[in-house]
Amino acid sequence: MYAGAGRAGSGPVEGTRPVLYDAVLLDRDGTLIEDVPYNGDPEKVRPVPGARAALDRLRAAGLRLAVVTNQSGLARGYFGDEQMRAVHARIEELLGRFDAWLVCPHDDADGCDCRKPAPGLVHAAARELGTRASRCVLVGDIGRDVAAALAAGAAGVLVPTPVTRPEEVAAAGWLASDLPAAVDEILRRQQAVHTVPGRVGERVGTALVVRSDSAGDVLVTGPAIRAVAAGAQRVVLLCGPRGRAAADLLPGVDEILEHPLPWIDPTPAPVDPDAMRTLAARLAAIGADEAVVFTSFHQSALPLALLLRMAGIRRISAISDDYPGSLLDVRHRVPVGVPEPERALSLAAAAGHRLPGDDEPVLRLRPDALPPRPADLGDPGYVVLHPGSAASSRACPPELAARIAGSLTAAGHRVLVTGGSDERDVTARVAAAGGTDLGGRTDLPGLAAIVADAGAVVVGNTGPAHLAAAAGVPVVSLFAPTVPFGQWGPYRVPTVRLGNADAPCRDTRAASCPVPAHPCLSGIDPAEVVEALRVLAVSGGGGR
Ligand SMILES: [Zn+2]
């Protein structure tokens, strides 16, 4: 690929490193300028409306800018280097300077690792800008752009044009109506995790943090809990029974209080007044100076806020669209579509806590909480295939998982099939088609240890996807669209999304598939999984 000369960008001010992003990567044709196929003529350069002002807002915010563009016209001989450079000079004349230019000169047939949707240009741009892909957000107009971003572990914003295919729009986790709107949302999200209203440097004694619900919910709240921990001497986490094992893995948590919350649990027991009185007493005994109540967008923090008030907790922060009266001191609001870890981080920020400069907003586990990986599994670099999910709507159909196992094995991958003790029938059936059956052999920490040494994890939208994200292990996400991918997709880790994003189960939040034959996932071709691993640079030879 071609890399333009790096230039010193106007980086962020010392000590105020942005939490989320260092750089914005921009596709060229159809994103920055009107798409003129195979254009080698500077006179035909037409910026999209509002481009210059939008880019200047990013520059003013200290973000570095790079262009990442496929130019197969070079490979096909439609224009030469000189002409392309003239076009780029014209673009800079109209839109201002970019800190780097990354061009793939190849054609699809070349099989290079830089032509989008391969992630090579994104990695190269990040390197050129002195950062990592996970600290970049890419803006593009077609599915290839977003796919390249995700495969590198970057965020990807799709700004559709009339030529963008509907399935690409459906699959995008982050959509904007035009380039200025994309820029505004990037800056808004960046700002939302920084806001520390009047509490900079103030350190509390004991902070109570709350995240009920399942293991995945607890894991994605991890960065926000670390932010609170950075500003508190002691952190107590209230979680439910289903999230307990994940809570034990989180850094920053000093103590855990486990109690089911009947207004959160999907299959709740009746409200027991004695149990509520006991909970209020246990909450009072913590002696917390403040509480930060984390929820998903469909959950209410207010019933617990009332108990916390009864327990004498003076400062309570939560996200609430419902009017909270005097139940909350910090009532935070978040637009829909924000990734769950950022949504929680923005609440922590509103409460006065932010991640320290030496931490990253990624999912993490306590290294000392993981057991050694069983020795009989061989060298690292295997592929973990996890077909199940607590919600069957988000599980991979066993028949498909078996075909995936067979195809991966045939492609030279070592496959480990994982699942809980109640999923042993499925894991046995899948592993029989190719792979080692670990069904029922792992608890959550054991599974985390196995995932940590994987070359990649093939999994639906369920807890182990977040374990992979926490270990920095690439994910092939067989994502049922019952909830938005942009909120629940694997966070800041190289990912390839597969499945029909526009299936009828979309946004239903259904726990079991409402559509016969589970069409969102059953149409996946196992060859797509093999190809996804190639894009993620996971080799069948066992290495990564
Ligand atoms: Zn290339």
pLDDT digits (tens, 9 = 90+) for 356-370: 889 999 999 998 999
Q: Beta strands of 232-382 (E only): which ranges? A: 232-239, 255-258, 290-294, 315-319, 330-332
DSSP-assigned states of every residue in 402-443:
HHHHHHHHHTT--EEE---GGGHHHHHHHHHTSSEE-TTS--
Q: Is the pLDDT of residue 293 over 80?
A: yes
Average pLDDT, the chain: 92
Cα distance between residue 135 and residue 362, in whole Å? 10
Assign 254 a pLDDT band (cuts: 50, 70, 90): very high
User: 181 C-alpha vs ligand 1 centroid, how far in Å?
Assistant: 29
Q: What is the pTM of this model?
A: 0.93
Whether the CB-CB separation of 535 and 148 falls below 8 Å is answered with: no
Coil, strand or helix: which one is 128?
helix
Give the tens place of pLDDT for each residue, 496-540.
999 988 888 888 888 777 777 677 888 999 999 999 999 999 987
Query: In angstroms, rounded to a whole number, what is the distance separating the alpha carbons of residues 39 and 28?
Result: 11
Q: How far is the CA of 159 from the centre of ligand 1 (A)?
A: 23
CA 77–ligand 1 middle distance (angstroms): 15
- Cα 538 vs. chain centroid, distance in angstroms? 19
Q: What phi and psi, each to the nearest 5 degrees, are found at residue 31?
A: -115, -60
Catalytic residue among 27, 99, 213, 453: 27
Please enumerate in sequence order all residues whose Cβ is within 8 A of that of 435, keeping only pairs 6 or more positions apart, or say none.
Answer: 385, 405, 408, 409, 414, 415, 416, 417
Catalytic option among 22, 29, 437, 453: 29
User: How remote is the CA of residue 283 from the centroid of ligand 1, in Å?
Assistant: 57
What is the C-alpha to C-alpha distance for residues 481 and 398, in angstroms, rounded to an integer?
A: 18
Q: Indicate if the pLDDT at residue 222 is higher than 80.
A: yes
Spacing, Cα 133 to ligand 1 middle (Å): 17
pLDDT category at 482 given cuts 50, 70, 90 is: confident
pLDDT band at 544 (very low <50, low <70, confident <90, very high): very low
Structure tokens at 490: 């694997």
Percent of the chain scored above 90 by pLDDT? 82
Cα 115 to ligand 1 centre (Å): 4
For residue 392, name the pLDDT band (cuts at 50, 70, 90).
confident
The β-bridge partners of 2 are 103
Distance 71 CA to ligand 1 centre (A): 9
Known active-site residue 29: yes
DSSP, res 15: T
- Residues 282, 259 contacting (CB under 8 angstroms): yes
Contact 468, 449 (CB under 8 A): no
pLDDT in tens, 322-359: 999 999 999 999 998 999 999 999 999 999 998 988 99
Per residue in 76-113, pLDDT (tens digit) is 999 999 999 999 999 999 999 999 999 999 998 998 99
Q: How many A from CA of 529 to the centre of ligand 1?
A: 22
Please give the pLDDT value at position 14.
39
- CB distance 3 to 101 below 8 Å: yes
pLDDT at residue 502, as a whole number? 84
Kindly give the distance from the C-alpha atom of residue 124 to the centroid of ligand 1, in angstroms, as a whole number: 11
Instruction: Tell me how far the alpha carbon of residue 84 is from its chain's centroid.
Output: 35
Cβ atoms of 316 and 329 within 8 Å: the answer is yes
Whole-angstrom distance, CA of residue 58 vs CA of residue 53: 9
Cα of 1 vs centre of ligand 1, distance in Å, is: 6
443 as an active site residue: the answer is no
With CA atoms as reference, report the closest residue to 138 among 56, 59, 192, 66: 66
Yes or no: say if 478 and 458 are a contact pair by the CB < 8 Å rule: yes
CA of 102 to the centre of ligand 1 (A): 10
Could you tell me the pLDDT band of residue 304, with boundaries at 50, 70 and 90?
Answer: very high
Q: Angle 51-60/179-192 helices, nearest 10 degrees?
A: 20
Taking the centre of ligand 1 as the mean of its atom positions, its distance from the CA of residue 122, in whole angstroms, is: 12
Are 2 and 82 contacting, i.e. CB atoms less than 8 angstroms apart?
no
CA–centroid distance, residue 107 to ligand 1 (Å): 7
Q: What is the pLDDT of residue 9?
A: 39
Residue 15 has pLDDT above 60, yes or no: no
In whole angstroms, give the CA distance from residue 489 to residue 506: 14
Angle at 533 between CA 529 and CA 539, to 5 degrees: 135
Cα 381 to middle of ligand 1, angstroms? 26
Alpha-carbon distance values, 287 to 189, 281, 304, 351 (Å): 33, 10, 16, 18
Q: How confident is the model at residue 13 (pLDDT cuts 50, 70, 90)?
A: very low
From the list 399, 403, 398, the residue with the least C-alpha distance to 419 is 398
Q: Give 482 or 513, the one with higher predicted confidence.
A: 482
The confidence score (pLDDT) of residue 5 equals 41
Q: Which of 137-151, 226-240, 317-331, 389-403 bottoms out in mean pLDDT, i.e. has the lowest?
A: 389-403
Interval 299-314 mean pLDDT: 96
Instruction: State which residues have CB under 5 angstroms from ligand 1, the bound ion.
Output: 104, 106, 112, 114-115
- pLDDT at residue 447 greater than cutoff 60: yes
Region 165-171: mean pLDDT is 95
Spacing, Cα 112 to ligand 1 middle (Å) = 5
CA dihedral of residues 50, 55, 57, 59 (deg, nearest 10): -170
Q: What is the predicted pLDDT for the residue at 277?
A: 94
